[in-house]
Amino acid sequence: MTDPVSGGDSGWLVAAGVSIMGLIGGAITWLVGRKDRTETRKDRTEATRVAKLAAWHEELMARERLLNANQDAFQARIVRQLAEQDEKILGLENEVERHRIGTAVLFARVAHYDPEDPLLAQVSKLLGSAMPIIPGDLDHAMDDLLRQIP
pLDDT tens digit sequence for 44-82: 888 888 899 999 999 999 999 999 999 999 999 999 999
pLDDT of residue 52: 92
Average pLDDT over residues 34-42: 74
Contact 131, 104 (CB under 8 A): yes
Flag whether 60 is in a domain: yes
Flag whether 4 is in a domain: no
Tell me, what DSSP letter sits at residue 116?
A: T
Instruction: Look at the chain and report how many structural domains it folds into.
Output: 1
Flag whether 52 is in a domain: yes
Reported pTM: 0.47
Question: Can you give the residue range of the structural domain that contains 26?
Answer: 9-148
Flag whether 3 is in a domain: no
Instruction: State yes or no: pLDDT of 109 exceeds 90.
Output: no
Flag whether 83 is in a domain: yes
What phi and psi, each to the nearest 5 degrees, are found at residue 134? -90, 120
- C-alpha to C-alpha distances, 59 to 50, 65, 67, 92, nearest whole angstrom: 14, 10, 12, 49
